Amino acid sequence: MDFTPHTAADVERMLGTLGLADIGDLFAHLPADVRLDRELSLPPPMAEAEVMGHLRSLAERNASHLVCFAGGGIYDHFLPPVVRALTLRPEFVTSYTPYQSEVSQGVLQALYEYQSMVAAVTGLPVANASLYDGATAALEAVNLAVGATGRQAVWISRGLSPRAREVVATFARARGLTIVEHPLAGGRTAWQEDAGPDPAVVLFSQPNYLGVVEEYGPAVSLAHGRGALAAASVDPMLLGILASPGAAGCDLALGEGQPLGAPLSFGGPGLGLFATSEALMRRIPGRLVGRTVDEDGRLAYTLTLRTREQDIRREKASSNICTNQGLNALGAAVHLAWLGPKGLAEVGRQSIQKAHYLATRLAEIPGVSLPLAAPFAREFALSLPQEPEAVVAAMAGRGYLAGIPLSGDYPELGSALLVAVTERRTRAELDGYAAALQEVLADA
């Protein structure tokens, strides 16, 4: 193979073969507003040591020291060292898809254990080997429901994550589906029972994006009364405290699994949780790992179900998803095993108690209030007398990542901030946040 750098003559020959006059003609089909109209601003060549130093200086500009009160699906929970110790082992880091079960028993067993734990915490009997993230899981819940019911409408709570709603809306446009969004009233979903057309699925979040604890009953009853599936997007770190979707009668459970076994890492990677009933098992997206015995009677693991792979007809596939977040699923399994049922409940309990303590402290600051009266879990909306973006910037200067501005996604709340609290936050950090916010508002 010739690795000789291309010369100007080589470029000329290529353009002549293509019938083009200039290298820019290769990109003429692109809209002008997406083409770069200047030379790339690149530094001069550097030695490897210089590159490492340059990258280090860029990394030091990140404000990684901020105490995190931001959430919205990605949370700053304590990550036990055993998770990193196991997920960084080369047999897991370097492995890919376990097509050959005879040489992939360790990976397959890890995924089987992950599935078993997700099934246990969601209260549903079948969980897959994971999806890409929470938004993908929401899309796949819609896809499953449309295939199972043959209907073309999707009822979604406005309390579902805005990012998940955007992903589902993109999918719906491509599939010609009708999205019926149900509003919030006082923070909870106000289901419109007389809405139409009949839905394939009723999709909501527990708790919802604003941290409000929804009631399972109205959503499940509405879905089943209209012949639809009920799907709940859940926070896995609260499943030790709140009722599980399976126990509440939901047909599908999904969610963002990042809080289990993954650091913040600038917002990713995520992990899509997905579980369902036995009746819907053959429509489950992605893949399913099963446990059996080999011809010698020894315990063995294998890929039992794959919805879209090389060994089936893709046009008959129930989903286009053909892989999973194996390393993240391993981390989630290790984290859940480390916590155990009591530990998971304690994480949820501490997060809720500390969130309520902070909310009470913040509501005492002049001009600050809690706009929603509904019960909330570990996240809550906070009304501010100033624009939330400015408050977030000022709080960063005092060492706090204050939260997520809500004015773009929920303008009806006015100048509001979404504040999240996990078990990691100490009393000193909670009090410090309240003091810093009071200073910021007073200074302005």
What distances in angstroms separate CA 341 from CA 119, 239, 280, 328, 338, one per listed residue? 13, 9, 27, 20, 9
For 85, the enclosing helix (H) or strand (E) is: helix 81-87
**Residue 272 confidence (pLDDT) above 90:** yes
CA distance 392 to 404: 8
Is there a single domain that holds both residue 294 and residue 349? no
CA distance 407 to 415: 6
CA distance 257 to 327: 12
| 353-391 per-position pLDDT tens digit | 999 999 999 999 999 999 999 999 999 999 999 999 999
Residue 439 lies in a domain: yes
Radius of gyration of the chain (CA): 25
**Residue 311 confidence (pLDDT) above 60:** no
Longest dimension (CA), the chain: 75
Mean pLDDT is lowest, of 101-105, 225-229, 313-317, for 313-317
What is the model's pLDDT at position 6? 67
373: domain range? 67-76+341-443
CA distance 324 to 257: 13
* Residue bearing the bigger pLDDT, 122 or 14: 122
Which of 280, 315, 336 terminates a domain? The answer is 336
Single pTM value for the model:
0.87
What is the model's pLDDT at position 1? 43
Structure tokens at 441: 């508002």
Residue 24 lies in a domain: no
Is there a single domain that holds both residue 219 and residue 236? yes
Residue 181 lies in a domain: yes
Whether 177 contacts 239, CB under 8 Å: no
Is there a single domain that holds both residue 232 and residue 291? yes
- The total domain count for the chain is 2
Other CB atoms within 10 Å distance of the CB of residue 85: 10
**Residue 111 confidence (pLDDT) above 60:** yes
Is there a single domain that holds both residue 292 and residue 346? no
Is there a single domain that holds both residue 191 and residue 270? yes
Which of 315, 336, 357 terminates a domain? The answer is 336
In this prediction, residues 403-428 reach a mean pLDDT of 97
